[in-house]
Amino acid sequence: MQRAPRRRKRATWKTVFFLVVCFPYGLFLMWRTQRWHPAVKGLVTACFAALTVAVFLPMTMPPTRGGGGVRMVGAEKNVAVYGPELPASMGDGYAGYGVVSGAAAPVFSDAPEAEVTYVYANDNGKYYHLSDCKYVASYTRKYALPVAYYNGYQPCLECGAPTYVPGDAG
């Protein structure tokens, strides 16, 4: 009669030991040998279940993907491109890319490429402007001069934006 409680106590320690060292076996022992309240057993089991989920669930998640891919810049007003400056001879309209050598190069045109003039116009405005005009804001769009002209804009009188004459190179 005196040995029963002691044996049960030792079994309790054994259960706790295995719960710590190897909890599946500890849980098995607990349900099998302990006369704890079912709510206690359920709580202990739930705790270990939650722990297991917390440890193993992140391993099943795909790794977070870093930024990358293609960014569509067409909808953005002015995209600043950082890098070394091109030589002045390779400015807007430069057509010499891919030319191997002067002698063997195909000649597309003897006429020098015209400089493209850019002007700035607001969506709801009537005029186009030079870049330093007071009407040019961060949301103002940039157009090549002929494009601004054919979009119905007129040269601003205050900043002296150039007038476009159809037929000119721009």
Binding footprint of Zn ion on the chain (CB under 5 A): 129, 133, 135, 156, 158-159
CB of 78 to Zn ion, least distance (A): 17
Task: Specify the residue, 15 or 117, whose C-beta has the smaller distance to Zn ion.
Answer: 117
Distances in whole angstroms, Cα of residue 34 to Cα of each of 8, 11, 27, 45: 8, 8, 10, 13
> For residues 108, 111, 115 and 116, what is the CA-based torsion angle, rounded to 10 degrees?
-60
Question: Which positions ≥6 away from 122 have C-beta within 8 Å?
Answer: 135, 137, 139, 140, 141
Q: Cα 170 to the chain's mean position, in Å? A: 37
Tokens 């998640």 sit at which residue? 61
CB of 163 to Zn ion, least distance (A): 13
Task: Specify the residue, 11 or 144, whose C-beta has the smaller distance to Zn ion.
Answer: 144
CB of 118 to Zn ion, least distance (A): 13
**Residue with the shortest CB distance to Zn ion:** 156
CB of 136 to Zn ion, least distance (A): 7
CB of 134 to Zn ion, least distance (A): 7
Task: Specify the residue, 29 or 156, whose C-beta has the smaller distance to Zn ion.
Answer: 156
Task: Specify the residue, 44 or 156, whose C-beta has the smaller distance to Zn ion.
Answer: 156
Count Cβ atoms below 10 Å from residue 122 Cβ, excluding itself. 16
Task: Specify the residue, 44 or 130, whose C-beta has the smaller distance to Zn ion.
Answer: 130
Question: Which positions ≥6 away from 11 have C-beta within 8 Å?
Answer: 29, 33, 34
